Structure 1
Amino acid sequence: MVSEYWQPHRLTTVNDYDVKVVKLEGEFVWHTHPETDELFLVVRGDLTIQLRDRDVRLGPNDVFVVPKGVEHCPKADGEVHAILFEIQGTSNTGDAEGDRTSQTHELG
């Protein structure tokens, strides 16, 4: 069970990619993933992926892929449950290491 916000948990691995579940609330940090795209699939709630040139709003069952190297900042006005798909070993804060950086936890 995922209890803390912004703490990704690995659901499974497919080839070299992790499928992670995460619970989100509030605004995260601006960051990029220089080596990988990042896929967001919203399961519950409403999530905004802030980009420097626009905002992408996602509701349940919506998918958005942030291309590698694109600066973004996820923002959840209420609780959001989401699935992430990204290369194994990808840090949740990408190139913006800080107090919100978390290693991927194992689900269970």
Structure 2
Amino acid sequence: MEIEKVNLQEKLSLFSAHWSPRIIGELNGQYVKIAKFKGEFIMHKHQEEDELFYVIQGELFIELKENTLHLKAGEFVIIPKGTSHKPYAPEEVSVLLFEPVSTLNTGEAKNHFTQSDLDRI
């Protein structure tokens, strides 16, 4: 197997859809994904999986029951399994996600945002 580096900006230029993560790597049962967010997502939780959100460009807000997190480029947060959260972004934000392969983007909630068959780029 050939080992290749990954350029995040290059990968981000390959798509424009919001709330539609793309797989860019896999290690130890975890996917490395990138996504572009804009607007409001839904409140949801993942019963079995923690999620890491790393902001590449822009600003991301994550509403929790107790407060709202505000992440800027270069910052990340880990949302523990079982924690209700709602990401939103008034302007487009580029995000790197690190989560178990089993993670469904909408957790226990299934709706028009649900992405179960992700593209690899």
TM-score band by shorter chain is over 0.9
RMSD: 0.9
Please report the TM-score for the alignment, with normalisation by the length of structure 1: 0.96
**Does residue 36 in structure 1 map to residue 36 in structure 2?**
no
> Which of the residues 68, 72, 88 maps onto 2:101?
88
Equivalence for 1:26: 39
Between the two proteins, what is the percent identity of the paired residues? 37
- Larger relative contact order (Cα-Cα within 8 Å, sequence gap ≥ 6): 1
Task: Select the structure that is richer in strand.
Answer: 1
Which structure features the higher share of helix residues? 2
The TM-score normalised by the length of structure 2 is: 0.86
What code does the residue aligned with 2:102 have?
G
Within 5 A, what are the aligned runs for 1:70-89?
Answer: 70-89=83-102
**Are 1:52 and 2:26 an aligned pair?**
no
Q: How many residues align?
A: 108
Conserved 8 A contact 1:9-1:21 = yes
- Post-superposition shift, 1:2? 2.4
Alignment match, 2:23: 10
Task: Could you tell me which runs of 5 or more consecutive residues in structure 2 were left unpaired when the two chains were aligned.
Answer: 1-13
Q: Which has the larger radius of gyration?
A: 2
Mapped partners of 2:117, 2:35: distance in 1: 10
Distance 2:90 2:117 in 1: 23
1:81 shift after superposition: 0.2
SS at match of 1:95: coil
